[in-house]
Amino acid sequence: MKRERGERISRFTSAGVVLSALLFAGSMAAARQQSAPNTPDPAGDQTTQTPPTATTASANPVASQNSYTIQVDGSKQWIDTKIDLRGGEKLKITAEGTVTYTDKGLHFGPAGITRSFADLIHQYPVPNGGHGELIGRLGSSGASDAFEVGNGTTYVAPVAERLFLGLNQSGRDAAVAIGSFQVKIEILEQGEGTTVGGPPETNLPEITPALLESLPRRVTDQNHSPGDMVNILIVGSEDEVVKTFTSAGWVKVDKSVQDTVLMGLLNTFEKKDYLTMPMSTLYLFDRPQDYGFAHAEPVRVVMSRNHLRVWKSPKQVKGRPLWCVAATHDIGFERDQRNNGLTHKIDPAIDGEREYVNQTLSGTGLVVARSHVTPPHALTEAKTATGGGFHSDGRILVLVLKNSAEVR
């Protein structure tokens, strides 16, 4: 059965109650494994998506042009290594040392602490990584996807960016941490890409005004009421689209409440965060979305997440499929003006979500060209199907993905 975007709160609640019960049960199981004084307090644990202003490494001696030693202080969220990588740069990273959480008396090395059920109610930069594990990221932007390092790893920078190192922990953890990890970084292969954050903005003559005019400007609900704006176009095959989103840390959402319950149970048993809460069905080209993707904070996934819907259009660009994307940022709940139920409230400044998608996907190294285009009769202000307003500069982001057929 088709569902409206403004699903009633009971539908969210049925999934939310199950998830809340799972998380509560997990946290209780973890608490029984520890003495009461060492039980973490979820209310005091806060970590934002965007890291705080990066801290300069306390020691960054250059042993040679291709080797660096970095001291990563456990009490800091992120350390600026002062190493600017090129796209394609290949690194070998190894680490040793010990950090202690003084409130729990826990001592651990760069691999971190084995995840417990209590970790399901915390927010870490790498959701399913070890607690306190050494991690890295390119750039200080909240759109940068963190990666695991642990005791050691080989890493290839997808794009040119500054390298940061840190611990997979919350701000509350950092406040009680003492000790550090000594990290050695060796450049195994020099990179070639020099444009920071992805390809430069360029003109795409194949994205013509006629092509833009032929595409629907907005999605609709089941009653054909206009809703979210189509604010992104992607050129690439289905496999390339899915690969690019997953490489950027986006997850495919579940399609039903039943899927939600099953995945919530499985992820809880595996001590993983559940991020794939389903989204409502909307329509373009007279059919539901082909894919739904989300970026979310594990603890706030029911209420707040970056999310988008993707449709394959009947058009092609230079023989490759053209995909239409409607991206918005859920920031809470509001009244559905059609039926007085509750629905997700989106951030009305929707261009911010467009650029969030731009940063996350371009940072994978799988985007070879990008541009912002202004279609005829650009849409700058409108309302969603549920009655909430939004505004935009009217531009559409166009991303051309690396052609996998050409690199084989």
pLDDT at residue 204 is higher than 90: yes
pLDDT at residue 167 is higher than 50: yes
237 found inside a domain = yes
Q: Are residues 270 and 371 in the same domain?
A: yes
259 found inside a domain = yes
How do residues 205-249 score in pLDDT, each as one tens digit?
A: 999 999 999 999 999 998 899 999 999 999 999 999 999 999 998
Determine phi and psi for 291, rounding to 5 degrees: -145, 150
What's the confidence (pLDDT) of residue 344? Answer: 53
What's the confidence (pLDDT) of residue 401? Answer: 98
What's the confidence (pLDDT) of residue 32? Answer: 34
Q: Are residues 97 and 242 in the same domain?
A: no
Picking from 172, 189, 206, the residue at the C-terminal end of a domain is 189
Q: Are residues 216 and 173 in the same domain?
A: no
Q: Are residues 59 and 120 in the same domain?
A: yes
In terms of pLDDT, which residue wins out, 159 or 194? Answer: 159
- Structural domain including 176 reads 34-189
What's the confidence (pLDDT) of residue 200? Answer: 94
What's the confidence (pLDDT) of residue 298? Answer: 41
Q: Are residues 397 and 258 in the same domain?
A: yes
Picking from 168, 189, 210, the residue at the C-terminal end of a domain is 189
In terms of pLDDT, which residue wins out, 309 or 51? Answer: 309
How do residues 105-160 score in pLDDT, each as one tens digit?
A: 999 999 999 876 555 556 788 878 899 999 999 998 777 889 999 999 999 999 99
Please state, as a whole number, how many other Cβ atoms lie within 10 Å of the Cβ of residue 67.
13
Give 141-146's long-range contacts (Cβ < 8 A, gap of 24+): 141/50, 141/359, 142/48, 142/49, 142/50, 142/51, 143/356, 143/359, 143/360, 143/363, 144/359, 144/363, 145/248, 145/249, 145/360, 145/363
Please, what is the angle between helix 9-32 and helix 257-269, to 10°? 10
Cβ 285 vs Cβ 278: under 8 Å:
no
H-helix or E-strand spanning residue 235: strand 232-235
Picking from 164, 189, 214, the residue at the C-terminal end of a domain is 189
89 found inside a domain = yes
Q: Are residues 222 and 340 in the same domain?
A: yes
> Which range (23-27, 245-249, 373-377, 378-382) has the least confidence?
23-27
262 found inside a domain = yes
Residue 190: which residues within 8 A CB-CB, separation 6 or more? 86, 89
User: What is the band of 296 on the pLDDT scale with cuts at 50, 70, 90?
Assistant: low
Three-state SS for 289-342 is: CCEEEEEECHHHCCCEEEEEEEEEEEEEECCEEEEEEEEEEEEEEEECCCCCCE
Mean pLDDT value of segment 301-328? 87
What's the confidence (pLDDT) of residue 40? Answer: 33
DSSP string for 57-69: PS---EEETTEEE
Chain centroid to Cα 85, Å, comes to: 22
How do residues 91-101 score in pLDDT, each as one tens digit?
A: 999 999 999 99
| Measured distance CA(165)–CA(85) in Å, rounded | 13
What's the confidence (pLDDT) of residue 335? Answer: 57
Q: Are residues 168 and 202 in the same domain?
A: no
28 found inside a domain = no
Tokens for 337? Answer: 């003006």
Mean pLDDT value of segment 189-204? 92
Q: Are residues 174 and 237 in the same domain?
A: no
21 found inside a domain = no
Mean pLDDT value of segment 321-348? 73
CATH number of residue 172's parent domain: 2.60.120.430
Q: Are residues 50 and 151 in the same domain?
A: yes
User: Could you tell me which of 200, 196, 161 has the C-alpha nearest to residue 369?
Assistant: 200
- Domains in the chain: how many in total? 2
Question: What's the Cα-to-Cα distance from 77 to each of 23, 264, 300, rounded to whole Å?
Answer: 25, 29, 21
User: Could you tell me which of 20, 17, 5 has the C-alpha nearest to residue 343?
Assistant: 5
pLDDT at residue 255 is higher than 80: no
Q: Are residues 117 and 151 in the same domain?
A: yes
